[in-house]
A = this chain, B = another copy of it.
Amino acid sequence: MAAHVIFSDPKLDTVALDTLKNGIGGSRLILPAKVASSVLEVGEADPAFGEAEIAFGQPLLESIYASERLRWIQVSSAGFTRYDTPEFREYARKRGLVVTNSSSVYAEACAEHVLAFMLAQSRKLPESLAKRIPNGEPEWMQLRDSCRPLRGQNVLILGFGGIAKQLLEMLAPFRMNIVAMRRHPRGDEGVKVVTSAGLECALAEADHVINILPDNGESAGFFDRKRFQQMKPGAVFYNIGRGTTVNQEELFSALKSGALAAAWLDVTTPEPLPQNHALWTLENCHITPHTAGGHRSESLTLVKHFLSNYERYSQGRELEDRVI
């Protein structure tokens, strides 16, 4: 392989860093003086960035704009918010700059997280794990009766990327009625697809509304009062995309009134929610602290995914998880 200069700023454990060093052959690796504390966090501007042809991590926009050598960015998260603007897309197009993300690394764990939420809801795990009631009592009968197998229920998935594809596979055995919303349907989704024009009807029919929307100009506050009111009474709302896509005050109202049966959120604004936030007070609001994509050996998987794309890049092949 030809030698390249690679700037890498994700926080990596020793095994992952060694794998990266060994995997790039004769290329030069530049590590920043200060490493980000998570794959989501933006690093500090680094004077050495300008030497890099490839950036792996969360490079700053100002560093990208200042760089003359940069050709390819592999974002170390599934989201790529700060690059997902018309301006940046136009800039990248003009410069021939390619942007990939790491959605493959997190898709399986995220999809499992959603299914864990759905099954915890269908089996009433939070309530059941807290009860010590005898068989046969009215409360026990009521708890059993409140469980509802997934089979035959309606699901609406918003945001059709790697996570949705993994989730569809995992949901197949349950024979649910699945609809996906996608900005630009391609016909390869394998389920019924609607655009925003069909959203109102889809929301009215869904028992489970799964929000995997990315954070960009179009999605800010996407789930507002109107959309919560369009949902079927007793529907369950899930968010493992980004917290910014939800109006949390309106979500609170919909949960408090019982219009929605429950919400399961892995993302909020901000993260974590302040201790006195109203959503913490609701028994039907279940929140995990942005752990949906997490899994053992995460940073090693992240590096292996980068190296796989690095090999493709070196060979002039199409990159995986390309987003721009």
A65 close to chain B: CB less than 8 A: no
- Given A129-B288, A288-B128: A149 and B109 within 8 A (CB)? yes
Tell me what chain A mostly uses at the interface: helix, strand, loop, or mixed: loop
A28 close to chain B: CB less than 8 A: no
B116 in contact with A289 (CB, 8 Å): no
A100 and B287 CA atoms in complex are apart in Å by: 43
The total of chain A residues at the interface (CB under 8 A) is 61
Interface string of A91-134 (1 = CB under 8 A from B): 00000000000000000110011011001101111101101111
User: Chain B nearest CB: distance from A206 CB in Å?
Assistant: 18
B298 in contact with A135 (CB, 8 Å): no
User: Chain B nearest CB: distance from A190 CB in Å?
Assistant: 14
A191 close to chain B: CB less than 8 A: no
B272 in contact with A134 (CB, 8 Å): yes
- Given A125-B288, A291-B123: A38 and B141 within 8 A (CB)? yes
B271 in contact with A129 (CB, 8 Å): no
A286 and B132 CA atoms in complex are apart in Å by: 12
B125 in contact with A120 (CB, 8 Å): yes
A192 close to chain B: CB less than 8 A: no
Closest to A134 in B: B272
Q: What are the nearest 8 A-B pairs in CB distance?
A: A144-B294, A116-B119, A37-B136, A38-B136, A128-B288, A116-B123, A132-B272, A169-B173
Besides A116-B116, A116-B120, A145-B295, 7 more A-B contacts (Cβ < 8 Å) are A108-B149, A119-B120, A123-B292, A140-B291, A146-B296, A170-B174, A173-B173
